[in-house]
Amino acid sequence: MSKKWYVLHTYSGYENKVKTNLEIRVETMGLENNVFAIEIPTEMVTEIKEGGRRVESEKKVFPGYVLVRMELDDRSWAAVRNTPGVTGFVGSDGKPAPLTRDEYNKIMKRTSHEAPKKTSTTLEVGQTIKVVSGPLAEFDGVISEVAPESGKVKVMVSIFGRETPVELSFDQVARI
């Protein structure tokens, strides 16, 4: 038998509880030689709140899923499967399917500190905004493009009676 990563499906919002319950079960059932690690992949996301305020928070990469590194046998399968909050293993025909090394690496790369941070915003194309800082402060404009990965918006601003595209960061604009 070899140690492999498996994906558990859990009730949404119960990921942390499942991890805690599973850690307790592994200890009380003496499965330390079968279950080696339990991970809930997360990533840092910067949200732009009203008024351009930036709030960093940790979000689950796959809500409703937990990764478990284990040697799969009848005893470890039953212990994990019957943990409160676990609805089952991910796999086909009811059989748990282990992640490939490549799949695991891709998942964990998203959670590393080197991974590019994601930015989420409520700004949308077509929305009217006011520029709140920079050389164009107090100008109004209409969003023509939103780029969450770079934290920028392209805004059509009327300068001297002409529509001019301007690239601004999320924190330089506010919804009207």
Q: Please tell me the number of Cα atoms within 13 Å of 36 on its side-chain side.
A: 10
Among 14-18, 24-28, 127-131, 133-137, the minimum mean pLDDT is found in 133-137
For residue 27, the model assigns a pLDDT of: 94
Contact 68, 83 (CB under 8 A): no
* C-alpha angle 64-59-71 in degrees, rounded to nearest 5: 45
Band (pLDDT 50/70/90 cuts) for residue 9 is very high
Instruction: Look at the block and give the residue holding tokens 């499942």.
Output: 18
Give the mean model confidence (pLDDT) for residues 137-161: 87
* pLDDT tens-place string over residues 64-93: 999 999 999 999 999 999 999 999 999 887
For residue 19, the model assigns a pLDDT of: 96
User: Per-domain residue ranges for the chain?
Assistant: 2-108, 125-173
Give the mean model confidence (pLDDT) for residues 43-66: 81
* pLDDT tens-place string over residues 17-44: 999 999 999 999 999 999 999 999 888 8
Smallest CA-to-CA distance from 107 within 67, 145, 163 is with 67
Smallest CA-to-CA distance from 110 within 47, 45, 164, 43 is with 43
Over 90: is that where the pLDDT of 98 sits?
yes
Contact 141, 154 (CB under 8 A): no
For residue 112, the model assigns a pLDDT of: 65
Helix (H, G, I), strand (E, B) or coil at 50: helix
For the domain spanning 2-108, the CATH number is 3.30.70.940
Amino acid in the structure at residue 73:
D
Over 70: is that where the pLDDT of 168 sits?
yes
For residue 175, the model assigns a pLDDT of: 82
For the domain spanning 125-173, the CATH number is 2.30.30.30
Smallest CA-to-CA distance from 90 within 60, 61, 68, 59 is with 68
